A and B are shown apart, each in its own frame.
Chain A
Amino acid sequence: MDKRLEKALEFSNFLETQNNQKRIFLKQYKDNLIHYAFGHKFTASTQLINLLSVLLETDQEQIIILDDNEIPVVIDNPKEFMKDIVGVYIFASRKYAKDYADIKENRSVEGLINL
C-alpha cells in the first residue's frame, strides 16, 4: 500500500477510536449523574443544584422537588440531600475530566485501549 495512504488510514482509525471513546465517556458521565434516593431518581444537573441552593436559602426544614419522572418528592433534610447531589456531581465531573484528559494524551489506538 502507498505509504501516504497507509498513514492517512492509520490516522482515520485512531480518530474513529478516539471519537468513540469520547462519546462513551460522555454517556458514562450522564449515567454517573443519576442519583437514587427515597425510591426516586434524580439527575444531579446544574439546574437541580441551583434549585436546591435557592431553596436552602429559604431555611425551610422540608422542601418539595420533582424527581426525573416529575413525581413530587418530600425532602425532609434538604441540606443532606444537597450534599449528596453535589457529591454525585463532583464525582461524575471529576471522572469525566480525568477520562477526557487521558484520551487526549494518547496518540495511538493501542494507547487509548490500554488506558
Chain B
Amino acid sequence: MTKGVVLFAFNNSDIDYIKQAIYCAKRVKEHLKVPVQLITDAVDYVETKYPFYKKYIDEITYTPTPKGSIKKFYDGIYANKRLEWKNTARTNAYDLSIFEKTIVIDTDLLISNDKLLTCFSMLDDFMIAKDYNLINQSKSHADLDRISDSTIPMYWATILYFTKSDTAKKVFNLVEHIKENYNYYRLVYSITEKKFRNDFAFSIAVHMMRGFVEDSPWPTTLPSDMWVSTDKDILIDAKGSKIKMLAHQDYDYTAVKLTGATTHVMNKFSLNSFIDKEFTNE
C-alpha cells in the first residue's frame, strides 16, 4: 500500500489503548479515508475483544511489548493514578510501517478534518507537528513550547509523517540512538524528567539534524492543526467533527466546543469512557 496511517497501542492495567486505537481508526476512515495499520503486542486481544475492528483497521502487526516507565495519569483536576506507560516503540515506525508514505498519530488524537491528507502531496520526506493550540485559550503552557527552559523547541511525536527515504531513515536511526543513550541526552538538553518521551527524543533529533540551530526551514511545518488538552481536562462528547470538553481552570472547569479541530485528548480515562458509549452499537 502506498499511503496510510500507523497507530501504536500497548495496554496497561487500566487504560485500553487498543480500544482508543480502533476509535481513532474509525475517525481516520471518516475524515482521511486511508488505510490504517495497528502495531500492538496484543493481536489476540484485538480479535477477541473487538471483533468489529476490521471495519476500521486494515492491517495488524505484532511487535513485542516495549519497555515502559511509570507515569502519573490525571483524570480531571481531582483524580490521578500511577500506571505503566509503554511508549518506546514509536522509534520502530519506519521499519514496521507497511506504507510508502506514512502518517503516525497517537491513539488519543481525534482527527476532525482532512488537513493531514496534504502531507501525501508534499515533497518532504519527514515532517513532525510543532505548532499547537490549547483548548483553554486563557492558559499558557511554556513547558509545551520547549523541551526545557533553556534549550530547544519542542516537536510533537503525536503526529509524524515520513516516506520510505534516506532522510526519514536517518531521523529514526538517530532517535533510536537517542533512546539508547537517553540519560546522556537528557543531561545535555537539560531535561529534568527522567522518563523517556518520544516528543523529546524527536525534538533532539530534529535539532541535531538541522545543524544544532533553531532557525532552519527543515523540517517543513506539518499541514495540520493540533488542539491540545491536558489530562486535567475532560472529554464530554465527540460527534463527527464537533468535540465538547471541559477545560480545567485552577479549581474549576470551563466548557469548550471545537468544530473541525483535530484534538489531542490527554485524559485517557474520559476518552475511554466516551469510547465505551460510542462502541455500544458496534
Contacts and interface: CB of A to CB of B under 8 A. Distances in A.
The reply to whether chain A is a binding partner of chain B is: yes
Interface of A: 13, 16-17, 19-21, 23-24, 27-28, 31, 34, 36, 39, 41, 68-71, 99, 109, 112-113, 115
Contact of A16 (B123, B220, B225, B254): B254
Contact of A20 (B118, B122, B138, B220): B138
Interface of B: 118, 121-124, 133, 135-138, 217, 220-221, 223, 225, 244, 247, 249, 254-261
Contact of A23 (B137, B217, B259): B137
B220 A28 contact: no
B14 to A, nearest CB: 29
A27 B137 contact: yes
Nearest to B138: A20
5 contacts: A17-B254, A19-B138, A24-B135, A24-B258, A36-B121
B58 to A, nearest CB: 26
A92 B118 CA distance: 18
Nearest to B118: A36
Contact of A27 (B124, B133, B249): B133
**What 7 A-B pairs are tightest by C-beta distance, nearest first?**
A23-B137, A39-B123, A69-B217, A36-B118, A113-B255, A31-B225, A113-B257
A42 B123 CA distance: 15
Contacts of B260: 28
A24 B255 contact: no
Contacts of A69: 217, 220-221
A49 to B, nearest CB: 21
Contacts of A31: 133, 225
B199 to A, nearest CB: 21
B137 A24 contact: yes
B254 A20 contact: yes
A112 B261 contact: no
Given A69-B221, A115-B257, 17 more contacts: A17-B254, A19-B137, A19-B138, A20-B136, A23-B137, A24-B133, A24-B135, A24-B256, A28-B225, A36-B118, A36-B122, A39-B121, A41-B221, A68-B221, A69-B217, A70-B217, A71-B217
Contact of A39 (B124, B217, B249, B256): B124
A41 B220 contact: yes
B146 to A, nearest CB: 20
A36 B217 contact: no
Nearest to B119: A36
Nearest to B252: A13
